[in-house]
Structure 1
Amino acid sequence: MGEAHVPANRILLIPLGFTIWAAAFVVLYATNAIGCAFEWPSAVQRGMLIAISLGFLGLGGVAWHLVHRHWERNAKAEVAPAPTLSIIGIYGLGSAFVAMIGVAIPVLATSMCI
């Protein structure tokens, strides 16, 4: 029986989506806190938060696209566990993308500083 050689960095596909989500969460709410502390104008603060939200949503979408493309071209044909790791990464990125939308909605719907 031969050993399946799967690069060790493939395991990083699993937490990739939620790592992007966590970074988005921290950056959004830190920016909001800084804007409130320094009393930025509401339009400027909301604009920055929307730009940050769109940037992280774009990053998550690009990451999903790259992992999906990698799975279609390479990982699907490799031996186990490479295809499984890629599929888990794809579903994790999709779930994290939905979570990022959930984090971004308050930027549009709530007041900036309480």
Structure 2
Amino acid sequence: MKKVFLLFAILFLLSGCISGEKHQYSGSSDNWSMDYEVVVANSGSQQVRGSITYTGADPSPKMIDYSMGTILRSQSATGIPVTDGVVSLDRDGCLNCGTIQEYTPIQVEIIWDGQTETFTLKEE
């Protein structure tokens, strides 16, 4: 009986994570392009994935700092390695965090080798 109850509880919890909203964003500047995906589950959790790609003419930098955000939510990181011109932004999910609302533009700033570029990600 305990196993059946545990199985039911697990299925109930997972069902809240399955269906939800998916938001795809993209944007670019002179030297960078970015794709970003946010999957918001019915349970209030979200998963984010994305990549920042160097598109400039010079050799790609070895590291960058970046920040991105909306009015309600922001994130930043420093010393992020660039591998073959790409930075991977795969992140764990969070529960009850400030989720991105539909069609909200996301401001991005990338700093590398003494240079700075900003651009906006828009929902596709």
Q: With structure 1 as the length reference, what TM-score do the two structures score? A: 0.22
Q: Greater helix share, 1 or 2?
A: 1
Considering fraction of residues, name the structure with more strand: 2
Point out which structure has higher relative CO (alpha carbons under 8 A, 6+ apart). Answer: 1
TM-score (norm 2): 0.21
